[in-house]
Chain A
Amino acid sequence: MPTTYFARRRRWRLWKELPKVKLQRKNRLRALSLGAVAVSGALALTACGSDDTSSGSGGASASASSSSSIKCDGAKGQLLSDGSSAQKNAVDAWVKNFSQACGVQINYKAGGSGAGVTAFTQGQIPWAGSDSALKPEEVTASKKVCSGGQGIDLPMVGGPIAVGYNLSGVDNLVLNASTLAKIFNSKIAYWDDAAIKKLNPSAKLPHLKIQAFHRSDDSGTTDNLTKYLIAAAKSDWPYSGGKTWQAKGGQSAAQSSGVAQQVKQTNGSIGYFELSYVGDGVTPVSIDTGASAPVAPSTDSATKAIAAAKVVGTGSDLSLSLDYATKAEGAYPITLVTYEIVCDKGNKADTLPTVKAFLNYMASEDGQGMLADLKYAPMPDEIIAKVRTTINGLS
């Protein structure tokens, strides 16, 4: 190809300009400053994004006004804690009211139940939150920290785990444990499967692939859902359960917010998360437990299910054994209970009054009364009465 006159001229100009690299520096500076603007903009964006997850916290500020009845009882100084992120919104709301009333600084990190229990058994924090009761070896480990006593579990916050779906044209889906297990284990692939039709005779179910979403990270939410599936549909859920998702197939996303986001933007999808993520295109599934009517997840129906639980902890330990296969009227079986973990005896003298006062506030009528607004389930009366007695006996 012969070069044209113009091409040659342009090339000549290019060469002439080659040594003038100095201009470049100015450009880079400008790029940096604009980059900084982009970054700060992006940060603002992410901050907005995370608002979603704590959509319940609006209720917290509303109930802050009624916090006059908090008993401080010598609470002072600072309190550090770590643990379950499932109860974070509830604890944050409590902390807000309590620290306003008593001038105490409380920092709940919500770094995960595992992290919380580890920090507690290593003596770094006087109180931890966890979505499962202490294991025997963790109790043994806690004896080193609690001189003369051991770590105990106090059930404080309940939460229904909603199975939410997004299927246009279907408003009120009913499923039972067996169909749920088959859906999440990829045994039921289409929405118009006979098993789903049977439970929803009046719904117009499309021939659409079911996209089942589960958690990609380890989670107490997964643990409780699979406990329910094992208890109520053992033959359809051939896995051992636990915080790690074991079934094959389906898709996954990080955190409840991630799963909810995926369900929201995918027609024909189903997933599980805390009740606060329901709404905005995500509809909760009602569970056919064998009771006379299917039960929808709500704070009331979760409290009813917790009322059917047995206290299995010994001594002052109040760990619960939930009856996941409950057929009680209006009891929603897929429910999570988070515990506050403290020493029954041998708490450190400098933090004991503060921990006691704060736990008392959590368990008080005010404290439990705030939970429903935050889409958590308060503990049933019988259990919370035991919790209060135990807290007063802490030493």
Chain B
Amino acid sequence: MDITTKNTEDAPLPPPRPTVAEQKRNARGATRPGDRVFLGLSRGSGILLLVIMAAIAVFLAYRASLAISKDHGNFFTTFEWNTNLVPPVFGIAVLVYGTIVSSVIAMGLAVPVAVAIALFITHYAPRRLGGAISYVIDLLAAVPSIVYGLWGALILVPHMNGLFGWLNDYLGWTGLFSWDEGAPRSMLTVGILLAIMILPIITNVSREVFRQVPQMHEEAALALGATRWEVVRMAVLPFGRSGVISASMLGLGRALGETMAVATVLSPDFDIHLSLLNPGGGTFAQNIASKFGEATQDGRDALIASGLVLFVITLLVNGAARMIIARRKEYSGANA
């Protein structure tokens, strides 16, 4: 700011910078080839993206409509997926439930931990320790999902018995945590595995957001006598809130669409079980992965129809997240 004041005193005024509107006008009449090439490239990319999305949507909708018109059950309420019957019978109720429940469990477990890790790295940990933790978290993100699946099936599942027994003893009366001592390949295990898988992405984004907190906000809070926790609560968290929400939505997107890890760990069936500990249930992506290999033409169309529903759910979730972020922007301090 003080540079401009100096300019007014002892140097001749620079030519006025063109306003945004003027720049736009110039762009249209741009004569330099670089401008035109770049304009074409960026506009082309934008259009290409829209065309691809539209093509995917049309393809999904067309194949889905073929399948749904043949469906002998109710597409939304049938608790069965048998496309080998003539006529085929299938419904998505179980998949909707399973997908949402596993993702909600994953978010419930991962978001608090991820935010805590991000806060620890940025505001509490000594520099070296923080670096080491960031590094380990980055490593978690690099592990492919099938490896998480194998780890879940071979190591996590056999070690869940203790936790499940404990939950059953103390919380079994709620119904949500009753357990019939089957192998613990259930929605809760899947949720825990998904939580580990989405932890790095939420942590990384939150960490970057917390790093952006204006120093002045923190200093101001400290000057008012705030403790470290109060600084976090009053300056850091409100500033980072929209960032944390976007981070969570990125994680949720991964949890909703996770395929191989769920297919390896879960023991799927086509029923909605109140208990989160008993094996059963299923998710969209897992169902597509398990059924695709032996699917006939009808079966594939039915799976595509379920894919369309997942597409819509993801769209709704992202829309909701954007709305939340847009609403919070004014007082979050993100524009400070």
Contact = CB atoms under 8 A, between A and B. Distances in A.
Interface string A203-234: 00000010101001111100000000000000
B183 interface: yes
Contact of B294 (A21, A39, A114): A114
Given A115-B293, A246-B82, A252 B143 contact: no
Interface string A239-268: 010111010101111100010011001100
Interface string A28-65: 10111011101100100110010000000000000000
Given A1-B227, A39-B143, A209-B181, A49 B150 contact: yes
B202 interface: no
B215 interface: yes
Interface string B232-271: 0000000000000000000000000000000110011101
Interface string B287-303: 00111011111010000
Nearest to B279: A251
Contact of A218 (B123, B147, B218, B291): B291
Interface string A99-133: 00000000000011111001000000000000000
B153 interface: yes
Interface string B148-187: 0010010000100000000000000000000011110100
A141 to B, nearest CB: 11
Nearest to B287: A216
Contacts of A269: 183
Q: Which of B81, B153, B280, B294 has the most CB of A within 10 A?
A: B294
A11 B218 CA distance: 10
Contact of A7 (B135, B138, B228): B228
A42 B143 contact: yes
Contacts of B81: 244
Contacts of B85: 240, 242, 244
Interface string B201-240: 0000000000100010011001000011000000000000
B84 interface: yes
A242 to B, nearest CB: 5
A349 interface: no
B142 interface: yes
Contact of A11 (B82, B134, B228): B228
Contact of B267 (A14, A240, A252): A252
A219 B144 contact: no
B227 A112 contact: no
Contacts of A21: 211
A32 B138 CA distance: 8
B75 to A, nearest CB: 17
A24 B132 CA distance: 11
Q: Which of A49, A114, A246 has the most CB of B within 10 A?
A: A114
B269 A252 contact: yes
Contacts of A30: 135
B121 to A, nearest CB: 11
B127 interface: yes
Contacts of A36: 142
Contact of A217 (B123, B131, B219, B291): B291
Nearest to A23: B131
A46 B150 contact: yes
A217 B294 contact: yes
A42 B297 contact: no
Interface residues on B, range: 35 or more
Contacts of A243: 84, 294
A202 interface: no
B84 A242 contact: yes
A114 B142 contact: no
Contacts of A28: 138
Interface in A117-157: 118
B146 interface: yes
B101 to A, nearest CB: 18
Interface in A332-382: none
A27 B135 contact: yes
B37 interface: no
B143 A38 contact: yes
B275 interface: no
A253 B135 contact: no
A204 B313 CA distance: 52
Given A36-B142, A38-B143, A42-B147, A3 B185 contact: no
Q: Which of B267, B271, B299 has the most CB of A within 10 A?
A: B267
A237 B267 CA distance: 22
A244 to B, nearest CB: 4
Contacts of B290: 216-217, 254
B13 interface: no
Nearest to A10: B126
B123 to A, nearest CB: 7
Given A21-B211, A218-B291, A242-B82, A35 B138 contact: yes
29 contacts: A1-B227, A11-B228, A15-B218, A23-B131, A28-B138, A34-B135, A35-B141, A38-B143, A114-B296, A115-B293, A216-B267, A216-B269, A217-B290, A217-B291, A218-B84, A218-B291, A218-B293, A219-B294, A243-B294, A244-B81, A244-B84, A244-B85, A251-B185, A252-B267, A253-B185, A258-B264, A262-B185, A262-B267, A266-B183
Given A248-B271, A251-B185, 13 more contacts: A15-B219, A27-B138, A35-B142, A115-B293, A211-B183, A217-B290, A244-B81, A244-B84, A251-B269, A252-B269, A254-B263, A262-B185, A269-B183
Interface of A: 1, 3, 7, 11, 14-15, 17-18, 21, 23-24, 27-28, 30-32, 34-36, 38-39, 42, 45-46, 49, 85, 111-115, 118, 209, 211, 213, 216-220, 240, 242-244, 246, 248, 250-254, 258, 261-262, 265-266, 269
Q: Which 7 A-B pairs have the closest CB atoms?
A: A35-B142, A31-B138, A218-B294, A251-B267, A42-B147, A217-B290, A244-B82
Interface of B: 81-85, 123, 127, 131, 134-135, 138-139, 141-144, 146-147, 150, 153, 158, 180-183, 185, 211, 215, 218-219, 222, 227-228, 263-264, 267-269, 271, 279-280, 289-291, 293-297, 299
